[in-house]
């Protein structure tokens, strides 16, 4: 997208111009989340992979947005986004 601009070819007495518009590709899931089972008190890691690196990710439980805390940790490296849930309880299902 940052390459979008007007480009020109200058030969001194004449100039030719063209406008380049780069359309961003939508972000897609290369690997979606998978269902997990865990024993109470353990830690669970949910992982998904996106088609574009460093895409902002919002983690949710049902309709509630999750925030980093002692319970939830978010990691993102390149195209891989992870949610770590510590000390899982039945209410985390």
Distance (Å, whole) CA 29 – CA 52: 9
CATH number reported for the structural domain that contains residue 81 in this entry: 2.60.40.10
How many domains does the chain contain in total? 1
Does residue 34 lie within any of the structural domains? Answer: yes
Does residue 69 lie within any of the structural domains? Answer: yes
Per-residue pLDDT tens over the stretch 12-50: 999 999 999 999 889 999 999 999 999 999 999 999 999
Name the average pLDDT for the chain: 95
Return the pLDDT at 33. 97
pLDDT score of 1 more than 90: no
Q: Which two tokens stand for residue 40?
A: 């109470």
> With b meaning 16 or more CB within 10 Å and e meaning fewer, what string describes 65-89?
eeeeeeeeeeeeeebebbbebeebe
Confidence bin at 65 (pLDDT 50/70/90): very high
- The domain in which residue 74 lies consists of 29-85
pLDDT score of 84 more than 90: yes
């Amino acid at each position: 997208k940052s390459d979008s601009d007007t480009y020109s070819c200058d030969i001194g007495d004449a100039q030719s111009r063209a406008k380049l518009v780069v359309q961003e590709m939508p972000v897609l899931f290369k690997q979606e989340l998978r269902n997990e089972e865990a024993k109470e008190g353990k830690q669970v890691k949910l992982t998904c992979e996106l088609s574009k690196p460093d895409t902002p990710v919002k983690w949710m439980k049902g309709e509630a947005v999750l925030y980093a805390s002692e319970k939830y940790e978010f990691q993102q490296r390149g195209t891989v986004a992870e949610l770590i849930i510590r000390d899982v309880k039945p209410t985390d299902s």
